[in-house]
Amino acid sequence: MKRFILATALAIAAIEQPLLLGRESNITTAKEIIPTSSIAQGKTAKFYYQRGVEKIELGDYRGAIEDHNKSIELNPNVFPAYFSRGFAKLELGDYPGSIEDFNKAIELNPKFFLAYYNRGVAKNKLGDYQGAVEDFNKAIELNPKFFQAYDNRGNSKYDLGDYQGAIEDHSKGIELNPNDAGLYSNRGNAKDKSGDYQGAIADYTKAIELNPKFFKAYYNRGNTKDKLGDYQGAIADYNKGIKLNPNYSSLYHNRGKTKNKLGDYQGAIADYTKAIELNPKHFKAYYNRGTIKNKLGKNREAIADFSKAIELNPKLFQAYYNRGVAKLRLGNNREAIADFSKAIELNPKLFQAYYNRGVAKLLLGNYRGAIADANKTLEINPDSEEAYLNRGEAKHHLGNYLGAIADYTKALKINPDSIDAYINRGISKENQGDIKGACADWRKASSLGDKEATSWVENQC
């Protein structure tokens, strides 16, 4: 056989889908709401409670917990100490512990709306979005003017995929507090997810108007502009975000993504490299830098980046796949097969991995294995011209010329101008003794501009 199709340009789309920012959960300290006079029993318990609240204000959450432990030991029936200790645990990331304390505060004071609210925040952090919504519902029932509860209920609805519900909650929060930049930013996130990109940009712009130093609003507006194809506008927003916060790695990462779309590969590599410098665990930056290096033919450098991405995120099937592509280009066919197999293990519907694994097997002379992978490719993607071409190649090598001819014919139904299909079908017909049919296919390939086919026609037909 003269030729077959190699999978040299099947890189999976980059995984830099932007994370929308600004949906932080607001939490409320005890001292803002609970006067220390509410600790009625025991001067010492009150002393530890007050000192614990002061430590929270100073950011000494562990010290605050110690003081609240003592306060509760001396007086176990006063809810503010549980609430304040729960807040400190929440700040430290001890979400189950904070929920236990908020539960106790609610048990002692079922009308204390802030305990429901902060428990909702903790549940959201644990991924219990429905439970969070229920707690925010209760907080709103007890205090209908508490705009933060609408905001964070909107955040939890967003996490549940209820973007319209999120928009409604953030809108209610804006009605109650029209000068809160975060509410507009959060509503913008929900609009972006619902596909209302212009509405999202309007909300991010309002957030920036209210808070010109709100770098996350620039970041999110840049992401939405990128989706609309306004790449220069997106870069301008990322630039502004970087000026406000030069240490935020995702701004560089997403600017790199946009530069890549504009064909500024070196600029994209520089941005991904800066993102990695700021956050050495930014696996997406390694991965996406690798995709560009792959595109530029820097296969060994690409392999190094994909390997680092895999080290940081072993479930990243795209990295195994694209590392396999780079290895295939370098002729490391057995290693490529291992990577494609791992990608398939992680994503059994990734037809490109079956296809490229089949190419590697074809190059190694494993024709039956190549046919099996082509079959799987076609099962997932019946319109893969390349899979029919390569399966035909494998069948030809096994002496199944009629089967090869049938596959090349199917490839031509998908792409009637496939030079490779005409060339290879002609070769299989020649091996069948059908010289007339072979010449007809080569003439067609010649008419499509193939010089080798022209030579065959002149010499053999």
Of the pLDDT bands very low, low, confident and very high (cuts 50, 70, 90), residue 43 is: low
- What average pLDDT does the structure give for the chain? 90
Contact 159, 129 (CB under 8 A): yes
Judged against a pLDDT cut of 70, whether residue 38 lies above it is answered with no
Does some domain include residue 229? yes
Judged against a pLDDT cut of 70, whether residue 87 lies above it is answered with yes
* Burial of 431 (C-beta count, 10 Å sphere; 0-12/13-18/19+): middle
Does some domain include residue 212? yes
Q: What is the CATH number of the domain that holds 182?
A: 1.25.40.10
Does some domain include residue 32? no
Of the pLDDT bands very low, low, confident and very high (cuts 50, 70, 90), residue 185 is: very high
Does some domain include residue 63? no
Domain count, the chain: 1
Task: Residue count of the chain, please give it.
Answer: 461
Does some domain include residue 333? no
Sign of CA dihedral 221, 227, 233, 239: positive
Judged against a pLDDT cut of 90, whether residue 429 lies above it is answered with yes
Does some domain include residue 405? no
Of the pLDDT bands very low, low, confident and very high (cuts 50, 70, 90), residue 5 is: very low
Q: Could you give the percent of the chain with pLDDT greater than 70?
A: 91
| Structural domain span for residue 232 | 163-245
Does some domain include residue 241? yes
Amino acid code (one letter) for 425 = R
Tell me the pLDDT tens digit for each residue of 341-396: 999 999 999 999 999 999 999 999 999 999 999 999 999 999 999 999 999 999 99
Does some domain include residue 236? yes
Of the pLDDT bands very low, low, confident and very high (cuts 50, 70, 90), residue 37 is: very low
Closest CA to 432 of 407, 402, 460: 402
